[in-house]
């Protein structure tokens, strides 16, 4: 599998792990939020950031699972600074409470990693009556980012360190609906396709980072926003596929990444000096990668921003 080990311009490849891409980097003094940190690449991201000295706040839907991950990390690394806070991205009320509690904590915020997600679920509506993949993967993170932005801006000024927003997207953004985003049919069950709906939500992650970048540049804010494909990883995201986890685990040994490799690009974008000042880009295997035309569409990004802003009012 030499292709998997072939290094790109960054010096890293698809086989690079999160520890490898952050080797030698000191994150002491930085504070990061990682959503969906109780399992999969989210928990590995939290572990490695903490290993590099970052104070990590794990946003988790299941507090018990989050505490178990925290305990495992601290047992391995007694100096790790980890906190867990409840966060359900499919509920705007939960997102608002998380943001309010975070502000009350007095913590600064240097790095926001929008990682949590669901994949190819049967049609269903969120607690706010919005199609659940769009609600969880995009809208919840859009609202969370919006509510934490003033903290990030203040932290960037006071610390004189660049803030970084990292949206975990997917190559599945290539398989969205033909028009990119079904603005007139987000909740239309008759037009719902679970993989295209997933692709739509992942395209939204890219467009969100791109539009944040445009706005940050207009304002002269020292914050970057990038998106990424983590790779295909055998995590519980596959539970809604008919063939189940058996095939995923069997084939995965050949073509899929493990969790350590899957968290690499996220950790690279969160900490590596190579991407200082880089914003509005899409990455794969810790290297720049080109998204689809939809993923580069400035007007579509603006339209999605306005559409989502109306939904969160």
Residues designated catalytic: 192
The candidate with the shortest Cα–Cα distance to 10, out of 260, 284, 235, 249, is 284
What's the DSSP call for residue 240?
G
Q: How far apart are the first and last CA of the chain?
A: 49
Separation of CA 110 from chain center = 15
Rounded distance, CA 26 to CA 47, Å? 14
Separation of CA 58 from chain center = 13
Rounded distance, CA 19 to CA 51, Å? 9
- CA distances to 163, 175, 194, 306 from 211, rounded to whole Å, are 16, 21, 26, 11
Separation of CA 83 from chain center = 18
Radius of gyration of the chain (CA): 18
């Amino acid at each position: 599998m030499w292709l998997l080990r072939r290094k790109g311009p960054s010096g890293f490849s698809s086989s690079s792990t999160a520890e490898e891409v952050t080797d030698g980097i000191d994150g002491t003094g930085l504070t990061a939020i990682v959503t969906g940190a109780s399992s999969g690449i989210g928990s590995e991201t939290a572990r490695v950031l903490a290993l590099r000295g970052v104070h990590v706040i794990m946003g988790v839907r299941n507090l018990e699972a989050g505490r178990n991950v925290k305990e495992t990390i601290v047992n391995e690394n007694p100096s790790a600074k980890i906190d867990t806070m409840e966060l359900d991205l499919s509920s705007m009320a939960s997102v608002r409470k998380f943001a309010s509690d975070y502000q009350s904590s007095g913590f600064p915020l240097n790095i926001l990693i929008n990682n949590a997600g669901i994949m190819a679920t049967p049609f269903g509506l969120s607690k706010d009556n919005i199609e659940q993949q769009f609600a969880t993967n995009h809208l919840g993170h859009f609202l969370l980012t919006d509510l934490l932005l003033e903290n990030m801006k203040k932290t960037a000024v006071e610390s004189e360190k660049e803030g970084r927003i990292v949206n975990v997207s997917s190559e599945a953004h290539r398989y969205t609906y033909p028009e990119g985003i079904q603005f007139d049919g987000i909740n239309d069950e008759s037009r719902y396709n679970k993989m295209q709906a997933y692709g739509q939500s992942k395209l939204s992650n890219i467009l969100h980072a791109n539009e944040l970048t445009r706005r940050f540049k207009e304002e002269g804010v020292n914050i970057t926003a990038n998106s990424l494909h983590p790779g295909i990883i055998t995590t519980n995201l596959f539970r809604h596929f008919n063939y189940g986890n058996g095939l995923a685990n069997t084939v995965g040994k050949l073509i899929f990444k493990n969790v350590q490799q899957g968290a690499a690009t996220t950790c690279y974008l969160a900490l590596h000096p190579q991407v200082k000042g880089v914003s509005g880009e899409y990455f794969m295997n810790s290297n720049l990668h080109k998204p689809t035309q939809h993923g580069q569409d400035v007007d579509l990004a603006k339209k999605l921003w306005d559409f989502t802003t109306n939904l969160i009012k």
